[in-house]
Amino acid sequence: MKKRILTGDRPTGSLHIGHYVGSLENRVRLQDEYECFFIIADYQVLTDHLRETEKISKNILEIAIDWLSVGMDPQKSAFFVQSKIPEIAELTMYFSMLVTIPRLQRNPTVKEEVRATRLGKTEMTYGFLGYPVSQAADILSVRADLVPAGADQQAHVEQTRDIAQSFNKTFGRVFPMPKALLGEFPRLSGIDGQKMSKSRNNAIFLKDSPDEVARKVMKIYTDPTRIHATDPGHIRGNIAFAYLDAFDKDGAEVRDLKEKYRKGKIGDVAVKQRLIEVLNKFLDPIRERRRELESNPNLVRKAIISGTHRTQKEAAETLKLVRNAMHFDYDEIFSG
């Protein structure tokens, strides 16, 4: 029996190159070795976009297109929509009894998100504070073993393990202890050096055109101490080099560029020109597949529908085990 993966994204817009090196790359790579379930987490969108629900449906398709365009394969892996699996909501209910409020308040990713949105503690909803519980239900609804994700998701996987452990201890073993799998570059910064995110306007998206990529690369934060191209430059914290490290397959060339940069023998513009080339070469085949998909929306819909059906079967299995372990199936009342 293959081990299982569950991971995914919130349908709030397009995926960016940080998602790629943080998680998408691992998803594509592990599709044969693992049985994969990829979640489009629409419940989770409600936590901070409650007044824009009319956009979710289109964004679900956007996410699926991004996934298909990088090579996630619906023949191998199940793409599914979270809210179409009612078992996830049911599991969230049970799990909410196994986690304390202070434990949720300690979650560093939730804390960071509260800071980023300047959403004071008093405005925080029960649903927002509790979304890691719902995420634990996502992961455990298919009894997943592995969660390929970026660094910001690690706290949620830890929370999931705590919940799984607490459930197993209370009711008997039903759940595995899932582990996070970080990508090779789990914390790729945005072009301004801050955390890459859609809302910060600092992301390079998988669907950006070659011109958009060029324009964004030219704005990249490099070395603030360097005024002239002949000044010795710094590599650490230099986003142009962080991106070259992540995307330039020619390691020797990157080492050579760094060497010259440190000695003040090459300017920012030359480094950025190289980076534009490298990124566009990486993105070209992805763009090509996107064009094909955009003219074939039924293919995208079918991928989501079939994956959702498959996940429904697995989640139903899990919930049978869960209710049974909890003596919550009441067969003596409801069967016969």
Applying CB under 6 A, the residues found at the interface with ligand TRP are: 6-10, 39, 41, 44, 135, 138-139, 147, 149, 153
Closest distance of CB 225 from ligand TRP, Å: 34
Closest distance of CB 10 from ligand TRP, Å: 5
**Which one, 98 or 271, has the nearer CB to ligand TRP?**
98
**Which one, 114 or 271, has the nearer CB to ligand TRP?**
114
Residues 6+ apart with CB under 8 A from 298: none
Closest distance of CB 138 from ligand TRP, Å: 4
**Which one, 114 or 266, has the nearer CB to ligand TRP?**
114
**Bridge partners (DSSP) listed for residue 117:** none
Closest distance of CB 136 from ligand TRP, Å: 8
At position 123, the amino acid (one-letter code) is E
Closest distance of CB 196 from ligand TRP, Å: 12
**Which one, 63 or 275, has the nearer CB to ligand TRP?**
63
* Closest CA relative to residue 181, chosen from 63, 69, 1, 25: 25
Residues 6+ apart with CB under 8 A from 100: none
Closest distance of CB 39 from ligand TRP, Å: 5
Q: Residues of 217-231 as b/e, b for ≥16 C-beta within 10 angstroms?
A: beebbbbeebeeeee
> Strand, helix or coil at 58?
helix
Per-residue tokens: 332: 């003596």
**Which one, 7 or 318, has the nearer CB to ligand TRP?**
7
Closest distance of CB 167 from ligand TRP, Å: 17
Closest distance of CB 41 from ligand TRP, Å: 3
Phi, psi for 81 (deg, rounded to 5): -100, 125
**Which one, 149 or 276, has the nearer CB to ligand TRP?**
149
**Bridge partners (DSSP) listed for residue 78:** 37
* Closest CA relative to residue 37, chosen from 322, 307, 316: 307
> What separation in angstroms does the CA of 322 have from each of 39, 284, 294?
21, 46, 41
Cα dihedral 253, 255, 256, 258 sign: positive
**Which one, 188 or 254, has the nearer CB to ligand TRP?**
188
Nearest residue to ligand TRP, using CB? 41
> Strand, helix or coil at 147?
strand
**Which one, 130 or 233, has the nearer CB to ligand TRP?**
130
**Bridge partners (DSSP) listed for residue 9:** 40
